Amino acid sequence: MTNKKCVAMLLAGGQGSRLGVLTGKLAKPAVPYGGKYRIIDFPLSNCINSGIDTVGILTQYKPLELNDYIGSGKPWDLDRSNGGVHILPPYQGQKGGDWYKGTANAVYQNLGFIERYNPKYVIILSGDHIYKMDYSKMISEHKSSGAACTIAVMQVPYDEASRFGIMNTDSDGAVYEFEEKPKNPKSNLASMGIYVFTFEKLKKYLCEDEANKGSSNDFGKDVIPAMLNNNEKLMAYRFSDYWKDVGTVDSLWEANLDLLNPKIHLNLSDPNWKIYSRTNALPPQHITDSAKVENSLITAGCCVSGKIDYSILYENVTVEEGASVEYSIVMPGSVIKKGANVKYSIVAENVVVGENANVGVEPDYNGGDKWGITVIGAGISVGKNAKIGAKQMITENVSEGEKI
């Protein structure tokens, strides 16, 4: 095995429970995004574009779909004879085995994988975010500062800072304190969950963390604070381009529609920084005579005869005549029948919305918490003339004329 400068470890085991029915059958990193992508395409494409060709993907929750999607790693050019992409599920050894207890424990259990490549640095990534980032710049800052760990941070509005892990830094970017969801934030630099470690240090602190029975084995809660206590040099790396956590229904919906927002610059086919994905062999889309399409993204295999506005149609979606889809995302294989209206909704894979059904409602800014995005789970059938209100999460078939 040739030595690698940097190995990436991608944490993809989370359940993503706040996405509810959308992660009922698949892990969060495998959730479809942007018409033809999945969330994990972003860290994987960032890796290959940054020159990192050795990636371990730590899986635990519902890995079937994700494993299938990653396959040999070919779509990301990560099918390598030396390095490449490796799926790393929890395993049993001679002394037994364990599920991954936390993010740090997941990496700890796979130190053997990292050691095979004898890297100088390890970058820890998560499969929950939509962003384009050149990790090689972060690694070279890490190298020149001589830090034990460099943490990517971005500025968030102060009134939202208490939702994040906040890094308090000196003027030179050295981190002196880490506060998880502080009530009174001292800074607005939020951790993005991206860490570059010098491998020796990572190994040392992971072993110590594992020996500490009281630890929750989490990078943010345990490892980073332990390093700060030991006066290790921790640096913040500032990032200021588009970055979005897609951990909730609303943020997933927003992150999709951000692709249509002319004020947000997120070009996924920039030849210098393409986002790659596994695609199916599908013919181009057909927009028929009766269609009215504006301000939308539509991809291969779709057949559109209805009205589409401010929406994203994924592969193989059919929208029949007289139907409308507005401010919504419709995932692969779903069918919106004649006369149905879908608005402010996420329609998951292979859903059928029956004739003249109504799904979702316009925002009611006076309605407080009552309004929200409506979600229809994968494979659900919504009967004719059914009516589904705001903020519903539909997990069972809806019968004809039913009102929810």
Partner 1 sequence: MRRSAVSAIIFSNSNDRTLKELTENRSMASLPFGGRYRLIDFALSNLVNAGISNIGIITKENYRSLMDHIGSGVYWDLDRKNGGIHVLPPYNKGRTNKGYFEALMRAKDFITRSNCDYVVTCESGIVANIDITALVNQHLESNADITIVYRKASCADKYENTMMLKLDENKKIKELVPANSSAESGNYTLGVAVFSKSALVNIISSDENITAKDFYLDILPKYIDNVNLFGFEHDGFVSVMDCGKSFFNANMELLKKEVRDDLFNKERPIYTKTRDDMPTRYGIYADVSNSFIADGCIIDGTVKNSVLFRGVRVKKGAVVENSILMQGVEVFENAKLKYVISDKNAVISANSPISGSDRKAFILKKNQMI
Q: Tell me if 34 contacts partner 1 by CB under 8 A.
A: yes
**What letter does residue 348 receive in the DSSP assignment?**
-
What are the backbone angles phi and psi of residue 336, rounded to the nearest 5°? Answer: -110, 110
CA-to-CA distance for 55 and 10, rounded, in angstroms?
7
Closest CA to 381 of 354, 362, 358: 354
Which residues have a Cβ under 8 Å from the Cβ of 308 and sit 6 or more positions away?
A: 291, 292, 293, 294, 296, 298, 319, 324, 325, 326
Of residues 21 and 313, the one with the C-beta less far from partner 1 = 313
Considering the rule CB under 8 A, would residue 286 count as an interface residue with partner 1? yes
One of 116, 203, 274, 387 touching partner 1 (CB under 8 A): 274
159 interacts with partner 1 by CB under 8 A: no
User: Does position 350 bind partner 1 by CB under 8 A?
Assistant: no
Residue 31 interacts with partner 1 (CB under 8 A)? no
Nearest distance, CB of residue 312 and partner 1, angstroms: 7
Closest to 145 (Cα-Cα) out of 137, 156, 134: 137
Q: Please pick, from the candidates 281, 366, 369, 396, the single residue that binds partner 1 as defined by CB under 8 A.
A: 281
Shortest distance in whole angstroms from residue 324 CB to partner 1 = 15
Nearer to partner 1, 282 or 393 (CB): 282
Contact 86, 80 (CB under 8 A): no
Distance in angstroms (rounded) separating the CA atoms of residues 3 and 282: 40
CB of 105 to partner 1, least distance (A): 35
| 74 lies in the binding site for partner 1 (CB under 8 A) | yes
**Hey, what amino acid is at 348?**
A
Nearest to partner 1 of 131, 164 (CB atom): 131
Residue 366 interacting with partner 1 (CB under 8 A): no
We find the least distance from the C-beta atom of residue 139 to partner 1, in angstroms, to be: 25
Which of 248, 19, 17, 37 has the alpha carbon at shortest distance from 132? 37
* Burial classification of residue 285, based on how many CB atoms lie within 10 Å of its CB (0-12 exposed, 13-18 middle, 19 or more buried): middle
C-alpha 197: how far from its chain's center?
22
289 binds partner 1 (CB under 8 A): yes
111-119, 178-186, 288-296, 332-340 -> range binding partner 1 (CB under 8 A): 288-296
Interface residue with partner 1, options 247, 293, 383, 397 (CB under 8 A): 293
Structure tokens given for 296? 């939308």
Q: Which is nearer to partner 1, 294 or 396 (CB)?
A: 294
Q: What is the closest distance, in whole angstroms, from the C-beta atom of residue 36 to partner 1 in the complex? A: 6
Q: How far is the CB of 252 from partner 1 (least distance, A)?
A: 17
Could you say which DSSP state residue 231 is in?
T
The closest of 353, 345, 343 to 318, measured between CA atoms, is: 353
* Subset of residues 207 to 266 that bind partner 1, contact rule: CB under 8 A: 259-260
| Contact with partner 1 (CB under 8 A) among 143, 282, 389, 402 | 282
Among 85, 148, 312, 388, indicate the residue that binds partner 1 (CB under 8 A): 312
Spatial distance between the Cα atoms of 332 and 302, rounded to a whole number of angstroms: 9
* 267 scored as a contact of partner 1 (CB under 8 A): yes
Nearer to partner 1, 212 or 279 (CB): 279
Interface with partner 1 includes 276 (CB under 8 A)?
yes
71: left (phi over 0), alpha (psi -120 to 50) or beta: left
Interaction of residue 393 with partner 1, rule CB under 8 A: no
Q: Which of 87, 174, 228, 291 binds partner 1 (CB under 8 A)?
A: 291
Number of residues that bind partner 1 (CB under 8 A): 39
> Locate tokens 């085995």: which residue?
97
- φ/ψ bin of 220: left (φ > 0), alpha (ψ from -120 to 50), beta (otherwise): alpha
CB 402 within 8 A of CB 353: no
By the 10 Å C-beta count (0-12 exposed, 13-18 middle, 19+ buried), 321 is classed as middle
27, 138, 308, 353: residue in contact with partner 1 (rule CB under 8 A)? 308
Q: Which residues bind partner 1 (CB under 8 A)?
A: 34-36, 74-75, 259-260, 267-269, 274-277, 279-291, 293-300, 303, 308, 312-313
